[in-house]
Amino acid sequence: MTLKGKLVLVGAGKMGGAMLEGWLDEGTPAEQVVVLDPAPSDAMARLAAERGLALNPPVEEIADPEIVLIAVKPQIMDKVLPGLLPLARHKPVFLSVAAGRTIASFEAVLGADVPIVRAMPNTPAAVGRGITVICPNAHVTEAQAALAESLLSAVGEVGRVDDEGLMDAVTGVSGSGPAYVFYLTECLARAGMDEGLPEELATKLARATVAGAGELMRRSGEPAGTLRENVTSPNGTTAAGLGVLMADDGLKPLVARTVAAAARRSRELAE
């Protein structure tokens, strides 16, 4: 990632902090980073002091902002955005990772001609295994979109859509998806306990199985269906279990309803 101006991070919580550490680890010069956070954690204050990051300087004094990444919670966005207006006059690209906040909601405050990228990351970004989908408005140049992708790639993979309406489906699949996997792990452990396994062992088996299967899928690059077929012997134990999951009333329609509910809620939050 090559920056010509300043990278301004607004909100240095779990998501913003994870991205910041990724940028610094990849060699982003600390002097090009500015952190704005209304209540920085002790860990962030220490990091800023150790690495020489500018922490909460007056917004009006930030010179040459090139990209402004907004990582505050959606609930306080309306309080934070007006304070960023002094940056908007420089026409940086604003990159938001706030769920449910539309491009129009940012344009209404920052200006209709300001370059804005809406992004939907997910929590595995905290360990560098996230996936983020971006959607730029009409004022974002290809160079700015590429810069946004480069920033977000520090914490995982990046995809792109040009139709903002698809961001609700993205939220339903990948944004909320980690929680579905965590719950699946809980259910798998509980099922093992119901079959007589001690809780500690059942939990260990479930966690290792889900994590290991995910890593195998990531490394192999094979379609999930192919991997499933590879470990399913005819008339074996796995086939017996899949017979339940793949029934007409099994996992497929349940997951479809789950994603639809999350996408619907994403649309409601944007209203």
Domains and CATH numbers, the chain: 6-165 (3.40.50.720), 175-269 (1.10.3730.10)
Spatial separation of the C-alpha atoms in residues 189 and 15, rounded to whole Å: 28
Spatial separation of the C-alpha atoms in residues 184 and 254, rounded to whole Å: 12
Spatial separation of the C-alpha atoms in residues 116 and 33, rounded to whole Å: 19
> Does the annotation flag 74 for ligand binding?
yes
Q: What is the pLDDT of residue 240?
A: 97
Distances (CA, A) of 103 to 34, 144, 173, 249, 271: 23, 16, 20, 38, 12
| pTM of the predicted model as reported, rounded to 2 decimal places | 0.88
> Does the annotation flag 270 for ligand binding?
no
Residue 92 DSSP label: P
Structure tokens at 109: 């405050």
128: left (phi over 0), alpha (psi -120 to 50) or beta: left
Residue 138 DSSP label: T
Q: Tens-digit pLDDT profile for the chain (271 aa)? A: 678 899 999 998 888 888 898 888 888 999 999 999 988 899 899 999 999 999 999 999 999 999 999 999 878 888 999 999 999 999 999 999 987 789 999 999 999 999 999 999 998 988 889 999 999 999 999 999 999 999 999 889 999 999 999 999 999 999 999 999 999 999 999 999 999 999 999 999 999 999 999 999 999 999 999 999 999 999 999 999 999 999 999 999 999 999 999 999 988 887 7
> Does the annotation flag 72 for ligand binding?
yes
Query: Buried (b) or exposed (e) across 37-54, using 16+ Cβ within 10 A?
Result: beebeeebbebbeeeebb
Q: What is the pLDDT of residue 224?
A: 97
Distances (CA, A) of 6 to 11, 52, 67, 175, 187: 16, 14, 7, 28, 46
CA neighbor of 18 nearest in space, from 128, 95, 103: 128
User: How many CB atoms are located within 10 Å of the residue 83 CB?
Assistant: 12
Spatial separation of the C-alpha atoms in residues 21 and 30, rounded to whole Å: 11
Spatial separation of the C-alpha atoms in residues 90 and 67, rounded to whole Å: 10
> Does the annotation flag 88 for ligand binding?
no
**Cβ proximity of 48 and 35 under 8 Å:** yes
Query: H helices of the chain, where?
Result: 14-25, 42-51, 77-80, 85-88, 103-110, 142-152, 167-170, 177-194, 199-220, 224-230, 237-245, 251-269
Separation of first and last alpha carbons in the chain: 35
Residue 248 DSSP label: T
Spatial separation of the C-alpha atoms in residues 75 and 64, rounded to whole Å: 28
Q: What is the pLDDT of residue 1?
A: 64
